[in-house]
Amino acid sequence: MKELSLNILDVAKNSVTANASLIKILINETEETLEIKIIDDGCGMDEETVMHVVDPFYTTRTTRSVGLGIPLFKLEAEQTGGSLTVESRSIKEDLENHGTEITALFYKNHIDFIELGDIVSTVTTLISGSPEIDFLFEHKTVNGLVSLDTSQIREVLGADVPLDSPEIILWMTDSLKEEYERIDF
């Protein structure tokens, strides 16, 4: 992918497919590293699927539930000297506490580091694609924090105005852009 934010868009869509009600996208940046966490409370995966989820040549084939998204993301992390881990608890294993957590670590000074890119578009594209799901976005940098919480927005909007209304998406875009300007990103 040309931008890491495109990988985030791609991988977070797996959480949508996994029937998550809340998807967290947490980015933590230091001078040298960039860590991306995608955490959902979806149906999760069993141990065997997790073991194979990073292998592009593994597929369950009956459902086609595993694709190229995670292997690609993993490759991009590892080529900077970083890593990608997948932790998951299947709903079959634990009815109450299930979901998947993906952590990707990148070393920003490595020549093969891909820029984060247009993360604002990724966040708003995810929200407009799945307005019924809650998204929590947090980007911590050395200069400060940018965040967006759809549950707060939903509270203000009530039940009548859907999150994917063009006006609301535009407001979220502006809101995020202003915050990035504020921390002088």
Partner 1 sequence: MKSLAELEEIRNRMKSQVVLREDSDAIRIVVGMATCGIAAGARPVLQSFVEAVNEEGLTEKARVSQTGCIGICQYEPVAEVYEAGKEKVTYVKLTPEKAKRIVEEHIKGGKVVAEYTIANS
Q: What character string, x for contact with partner 1 (CB under 8 A) and - otherwise, covers 7-26?
A: --xx--x-------------
Nearer to partner 1, 33 or 175 (CB): 175
Cα–Cα dist 126/82, whole Å: 26
Q: Are 116 and 34 in contact (CB under 8 A)?
A: yes
Cα–Cα dist 176/171, whole Å: 9
DSSP-based three-state secondary structure for 101: strand
**Residues 86 to 145 in contact with partner 1, rule: CB under 8 A:** 118, 121-122, 125, 128-129
Nearer to partner 1, 6 or 20 (CB): 6
Taking only Cα atoms into account, the Rg of the chain, rounded to an integer number of angstroms, comes to 17
Stretch that binds partner 1, among 23-31, 76-84, 89-97, 159-167 (CB under 8 A): 159-167
Report, in Å, the least distance between residue 94 CB and partner 1: 28
Q: Are 84 and 103 in contact (CB under 8 A)?
A: yes
Task: Figure out which of the listed residues 87, 112, 178, 181 binds partner 1, where binding follows CB under 8 A.
Answer: 178
Q: Are 24 and 33 in contact (CB under 8 A)?
A: no
Nearest by Cα to 133 from 58, 40, 32, 45 = 40
Report, in Å, the least distance between residue 93 CB and partner 1: 26
The residues that touch partner 1, with contacts defined as CB under 8 A, are: 1, 6, 9-10, 13, 67-69, 72, 118, 121-122, 125, 128-129, 147-149, 152-153, 156-158, 160-161, 165-171, 174-175, 178-179
